[in-house]
Amino acid sequence: MATLETEALNHHHNSSPDRHKTIEEKSERDKRIEEWLPITSKRNAKWWYSAFHNVTAMVGAGVLSLPHAMSQLGWGPGVTILILSWIITFYTLWQMVEMHEMVPGKRFDRYHELGQHAFGKKLGLYIVVPQQLVVEVCTNIVYMVTGGTSLKKFHDTVCPSCKNIKLTYFIMIFASVHFVLSHLPDFNSISGVSLAAAVMSFSYSTISWAASIDKGVQKNVQYGYKAHSTAGTVFDFFSALGSVAFAYAGHNVVLEIQATIPSTPEKPSKVPMWRGVIVAYIIVALCYFPVAFIGYWIFGNQVNGDILLSLEKPAWLIAMANMFVVIHVIGSYQIYAMPVFDMIETLLVKKMKFEPSTMLRFIVRNVYVALTMFIGITFPFFDGLLGFFGGFAFAPTTYFLPCIMWLKIYKPRKFGLSWWTNWICIVLGLCLMILSPIGGLRTIIIQAKTYKFYS
């Protein structure tokens, strides 16, 4: 009996170091993975990184479709919806910045990690990941189309007598930049690209409203609804809601941007992050409101889906604005692609046990860029896509998912101010999510009737 006990003890002593060894190896590997993954690798960003990353993520090419959205909404509802969206998304963004470090000593570096904390390990993933992926991948596809379209516009404006080149080729030219840029490892390494993009977004927004004022209010301008039937007007209204939702879609990368800022108990990351967000939101207002209101005021309901298309002259200025759009969309594509790369790479190295390597990154990112390019070339009906995806996925992650998490985690007093504020945001966000895809889908169906593949 005694020998059995000593054997058991000896066995325990022998196996213990092995167990420690495996735990150490595991934590070493985890540490190596964390340092390799794009979101958590570097934490030395300054507050102004947060400002221009957020501007780049927010002020997408969606700003150019706002005058058209205004023409479908009309003056009263349009002004109300745009300003209300600005206020609601500013509030939900503040919630996300606050929730980044609500558990002492832990950081929710990714949107889905926050979701898992709020809804549980499994359910959190199921709720957040599909929505976040839809937003980021769809934004990348839409930006492929936008980049290609703006390059084509630039080419056609600079050289009106040149041979007509298919949009397909311009999308390919635009994609070729990303086959190179996508190999920048993490958020901090794309800060230069992002800064350029933020400056460009402000520039082309300013050009579009200033050139509109210069053009002056058009003859016979009309502010009534363009659609001839009630059904058409209603569907257009729904579609415009989606365009507005798309314009406020920066929340999907907020926690990931905040993850790059250093944090200590004395100096939490939310302080510099919030400072950056305030600056970003002021810039967003300076871009969105003048473009939307002045564009609609000048052109009325005849305004194009992209305001730059309504402004043909002066040619050099419009060509320049289109080039700015291209540079901006390059930066935006990278900002939205980074969390997707992070998710795919996490899955490969953590779940499928691949070794973190440059080769793995090279393959993953090139395949992703090629895929978004291919889908962009196949379905380039831009504004319908905006309306459809805008409501379907952008509304939840931007307008009401942060509010639901806030209610679930902080449990504010029933019928108190915080409780009411969050519930109002949730109800408005749900309306947006249900109504706008209907309008967007109808636009896609109408455009698909006359559309030839790869034309």
- pLDDT tens, 114-157? 889 888 888 988 888 888 888 888 888 888 888 998 899 899 88
Q: What is the pLDDT of residue 30?
A: 79
Could you please report the per-residue DSSP string of 197-213? HHHHHHHHHHHHHHHHH
Q: What is the pLDDT of residue 16?
A: 53
Could you please report the per-residue DSSP string of 212-278? HHHH-SPTT---S-S-SSHHHHHHHHHHHHHHHHHHT-GGGGHHHHHTTS---SSS-THHHHHHHHH
Backbone angles phi, psi at 98, to 5 degrees: -65, -40
3-state DSSP call for residue 59? coil
Quickly tell me which residue has 């109002």 as its tokens: 424
Quickly tell me which residue has 């150490």 as its tokens: 24
From the number of C-beta atoms within 10 Å of its C-beta (0-12, 13-18, 19+), residue 233 rates as: middle
Tokens of residue 249, six digits? 């879609």
Global pTM? Answer: 0.84
Q: What is the pLDDT of residue 9?
A: 46
3-state helix, strand, coil in the chain (%, to 5): 80, 0, 20
Largest CA distance in the chain: 105
Is the peptide bond prior to 130 cis by the omega test (within 30 degrees of 0)?
no
Give residues with Cβ within 8 angstroms of 270, minimum separation 6.
97, 98, 100, 101, 258
Q: What is the pLDDT of residue 278?
A: 92
- pLDDT beneath 50, residues of the chain: 4-5, 8-9, 11-15
Residue 183 is given by DSSP the state T
Tokens of residue 126, six digits? 């199921």
- Where in the chain are the domains? 40-449
**Amino acid type, 26:** K
Residue 411 is given by DSSP the state -
Q: What is the pLDDT of residue 436?
A: 77
Could you confirm whether domain 40-449 is CATH 3.40.50.300?
Answer: no
Give the span between the Cα atoms of 98 and 303, in whole angstroms. Answer: 40
Q: What is the pLDDT of residue 335?
A: 87
CA dihedral 55, 216, 307, 70 (to 10 degrees): 80
Alpha-carbon separation of residue 215 from 157, 174, 220, 314 (angstroms): 18, 31, 14, 10
* Segment holding 171, helix H or strand E: helix 167-181
